[in-house]
Structure 1
Amino acid sequence: MTGAKDAHQHGVVGDGYPAGAGWVVPAQGELDQDTLAPLEEALTSAADRHPLVVLDAGCITFGDSSFLNLLLRLHHLTDLRVAAPCQQLRRLFAVTGADTVLSLHANVEDALGA
């Protein structure tokens, strides 16, 4: 059994999987500067290998400015699409204007088909 900190750190990212021409990275929970490292590693790794990366955000309950900054950086490295963002994330994207930059979709299937 891993320690509580390890479980907390790695618990924000699920197992990624191939989908069409892209790669899906599922994430969950609260994403801030203290929990973001595993997601950053997963997204950066996917961006290095795939022209399309979909962040399955359906289980993300909170994202802060460091999370938003990560998405904007990744947006420049690959075709990043954000699927199923919760109300808090949609509000964050709208207030910051990121919704005009990021590719937001209702679900993973829509993101893959866009």
Structure 2
Amino acid sequence: MTATDGIRVVTLAGEIDHDTGDTLRHALDATGESCPRIVIDMGQVTFMDSSGINILIAAHRALSEAGGWLRLAAPARNVMRTIHIVGIDALIDCRETLSQALSD
């Protein structure tokens, strides 16, 4: 996890599923931050199931309620397919690259 211009960048690798959900939930917790902004670098994510989708939706809602936002960066083709099928891309801003996700 790093920060760039007040934006927290969470870099993920491997699978996002039931077994890794608690770690991701903890990494996305923005409790106490004013106007929290988080970019999730998904370039190395190989799989995401419904657990991951639910975590992303919950994080998006919490960040939005706190006046911040969540963006997804560089999801692999198979992960982007899941994101698109479920409709997450209509809810959460998805960008092709980390650089794009960090810019307004």
- 2:70 is paired with a residue whose SS is strand
Alignment counterpart, residue 60 of structure 1, candidates 45, 52, 55: 45
Amino acid aligned to 1:107: T
Corresponding residue number in structure 1 for 2:6: 21
Corresponding residue number in structure 1 for 2:27: 42
Corresponding residue number in structure 2 for 1:4: none
Task: Give the TM-score taking structure 2 as reference length.
Answer: 0.87
Q: Which has the higher contact order (CA 8 A, sep 6+)?
A: 2
Corresponding residue number in structure 2 for 1:99: 89
- 1:109 is paired with a residue whose SS is helix
Corresponding residue number in structure 1 for 2:103: 113
> Number of residues paired by the alignment?
97
Corresponding residue number in structure 1 for 2:66: none
List gaps (5 residues or longer) in structure 1: 1-15
- 1:40 is paired with a residue whose SS is helix
Task: Give the TM-score taking structure 1 as reference length.
Answer: 0.80
Corresponding residue number in structure 2 for 1:11: none
Task: Measure, in 1, the Cα distance between the counterparts of 2:21 and 2:36.
Answer: 22
User: How far is 1:21 from its partner?
Assistant: 2.4
